[in-house]
Structure 1
Amino acid sequence: MRHGEVLNPERVLYGRLPGFGLSPLGQKMAEAAAADLVDRGRPVARVVSSPLQRTRESAEPIAALFNLPVSTDDRLIEPKNRFEGTRLTGPGGALRDPRNWPSLTNPLRPSWGEPFRSIAGRMLAAVDEAWRSVEDGDVVLVSHQLPIWMVHRALTGDRLPHDPRKRRCELSSITTLSRRGEAFVEVGYANPAGHLQVLATDVGAV
């Protein structure tokens, strides 16, 4: 599951920066995702979150409804990037500053932050360990857009480099995986907070 909308009035790339929690709308999004799991009768047995504030707050409604604690896993965290705390576009945008251009030389890696292959590897390791941690039932992993999208592309066999504008990973969306034999496969995607998306701002990470 991806976190809900973040309170970010300056519209900066917050990345791993501290102090960026859910907005009131983001809280409603997280609650909608939790309610969706209940409505679908999902047998949630464990809730694991990225250590960042916005994901921990997004995990809380799920934990409350299923009477579970929230544990954290550093492998679910947002990738580090060199543009944290800045705006990419507009007046004073980081992309207009020649000092930042060396960080844009290789979008296939990408050169501005953690390599896509590294993100996919740590996420898939977290998924595998979560699956092994319970005898039965679902484990909900609360993470971030790019890490979730790396899992999707890795499991579908797509090239990891991609156009960020085409990610199918909305705020508080739920991407469902299942274990089949020795491999994981993606078996579903839900957007339970879709009715709230039109009101949301989603500019916090690359």
Structure 2
Amino acid sequence: MQRRDTKDLRRSAQSVSTVHLVRHGEVHNPQRVLYGRLPGFGLSDLGHQMAQGIAEHFHDRAEAGRPVHLLAASPLQRAQETVAPIAERLGLPVTVEERVLEAENAFEGLSEVKRQLRNPRWWPLLVNPMRPSWGEPYKSQVSRVLAAVKDLSDQAVAAHGEGAEVVIVAHQLPIWVTRLWAEDRPLWHDPRDRECSLTSVTSLHLGHDGVESVSYAEPNRELLKDAANLPGA
């Protein structure tokens, strides 16, 4: 999928499609484990509340004439539990999309990662933060997410015409680096600077030449103050 030049990153009156990348809700994780792709990490009570809230957000959009035509999610438990209320509220089936999985990470399974990194055994993994050397390359994450975005967008447009909308429930890091790519920014970043809160919506507006623009929303902003947010999770 192509990215238009920065000077052209503006939304046209009618995009060919819009793909909303939704981050999952808060996870029950009292030990603050960097859970990555590990099984068994489902939503907390607050996370389920967030999932209901994001379902209402897309239902309200549908009532206003902006329906979702295709729904997909990462196979990980937290993403599936987030997408379930959306599917129920909109009456749509869910496509399981492996290409939007959380990034691979060598620190997966560790708790209190910042403290653990004081141990010299982990230092060889920190030699190249721009790749990053501790996990899946940022470029690889962008490539697989964009492939999923294009395929799902093409399916929605083929079935429903231009202006079709797709929702994909995924994970913070793959969503964030995809946004960085779309906005022609370096993929390397400080995890604390990510604008991708729990159940946030990062929307890619696609034209015939690729990604035209990006918009961002936090429909559950009022719930975020109570959330435990682990960077990179």
Percentage of pairs with the same residue:
47
Which of 185, 195, 219 is residue 158 of structure 1 equivalent to? 185
Q: Deviations over 1:86-110 (max 9, x none)?
A: 12446xx321111011011110000
Query: What amino acid is the match of 2:95?
Result: S
After superposition, residues 102-181 of structure 1 pair within 5 angstroms as: 102-134=124-156, 135-136=159-160, 137-181=164-208
- 2:70 aligned with 1:43: no
Aligned length: 204
Runs (4+) off by over 4 Å? none
The equivalent residue for 2:83 is 59
The equivalent residue for 1:17 is 38
How far is the alpha carbon of 1:85 from its aligned partner? Answer: 1.0
SS of 2:197's equivalent in the other structure is coil
The equivalent residue for 1:71 is 95
| TM-score, structure 2 normalization | 0.84
SS of 1:44's equivalent in the other structure is coil
Q: Which has the higher contact order (CA 8 A, sep 6+)?
A: 2
SS of 2:123's equivalent in the other structure is helix
Contact 1:11 1:204 in 2 (8 A): no
Query: What amino acid is the match of 1:17?
Result: L
The equivalent residue for 2:51 is 30
SS of 2:211's equivalent in the other structure is strand
CA root-mean-square deviation: 1.3
Structure 1: distance between partners of 2:165 and 2:50: 20
Structure 2: distance between partners of 1:13 and 1:204: 9
Structure 2: distance between partners of 1:133 and 1:182: 17
* Most deviating of 139-148 and 32-41: 32-41
Structure 2: distance between partners of 1:79 and 1:116: 9
Consecutive unaligned residues in structure 1, runs of 5 or more: none
Structure 1: distance between partners of 2:80 and 2:232: 17
The equivalent residue for 2:215 is 188
